[in-house]
Amino acid sequence: MKKLLLLSSALLVLTASAASAQVNLSWNNCLGVGAAAMNQNYACDGSGAIHKAVMSWKEPIGMPELTAIQAVIDIQTSSPILPDFWRRGGLECAEGNVDYPVSLAGIGTGATGSCINVWAGAGVGGGYDYQSGFGGPGRARLRLAFSREAPVATVYGNGYLGGVINMLTAKDIDTGFGQCLGCQVPGCLVLNTIELYQTAGAPPVDIYAMTTPDVRNWITWQGGDPSCVGATPTQNRTWGSVKSLYR
């Protein structure tokens, strides 16, 4: 599992703005761009298909020195017990079936447009933590962090690419290495939070937490489970508390 790339000490602030703003989640591309889709159907045929979950946001305030984001995605299926196919944490059946961060090539609209790639032009890094059973036996939580080595300005009202999570499908059938059952079970992923981080002391705030959808903050798998659109809301955390997850 990839480890979280720790940010510079300039970002180790003690408090975060709890205001709401606008987040989007889609398969394949930023919502409204190219082949972006709400639902992903998969034959569970051992083809090794990669399904890209794409986070984006509409800038609520404008940040002159954006340096990083962190995000929380909740996963729930129609099964009361989380299927092995979605148990993707350490030492679980589908360990390694999350790939993040990954290349942003072909995602978003480049330097302009409705989903600007704010990560271009600098070194980037990040990591994730996957916790099965978070919020109940039928759920999982995916925590993500992504940073760039140099600050960049964002503009109020513009749309930005948050990142791409590759949801992999190894062991969806048994090819001699075991099988993680449950690929066919409907489910959904809910983007509960994107937090924007910038250099400490830069106006207007160090951290801005976005928790409401712009258009749609959820996507479905195999047709989806309607009850999971309201998955457990995230709790706002300081960056220091999230860092502790990776020690």
Q: Output the tens digit of pLDDT for each of the chain's 247 residues.
A: 443 333 333 333 333 444 456 999 999 999 999 999 999 999 999 999 999 999 999 999 999 999 999 999 999 999 999 999 999 999 999 999 999 999 999 999 999 999 999 999 999 999 999 999 999 999 999 999 999 999 999 999 999 999 999 999 999 999 888 999 999 999 999 999 999 999 999 999 999 999 999 999 999 999 997 676 554 444 444 334 333 333 3
Q: What pLDDT does residue 21 have?
A: 64
The values of phi and psi at residue 135, to 5°, are 85, 0
Every domain of the chain and the residues it spans = 9-232
Q: What pLDDT does residue 229 have?
A: 59
Q: In the numeric block, which tokens belong to residue 83?
A: 């299927």
Nearest partner of 152 among 15, 33, 59, 20, judged by Cα: 59
Exposed, middle or buried, 241 (CB in 10 Å: 0-12/13-18/19+)? exposed
Please report which residue ranges of the chain form alpha helices under DSSP H: 239-243
Q: In the numeric block, which tokens belong to residue 131?
A: 């916790």
- Which residues, in sequence order, are CB contacts of 39 under 8 Å at separation 6+? 27, 219, 220, 221, 223, 224
Nearest partner of 25 among 182, 212, 225, judged by Cα: 212
Radius of gyration of the chain (CA): 17
Strands 66-77, 139-152: pairing kind: antiparallel
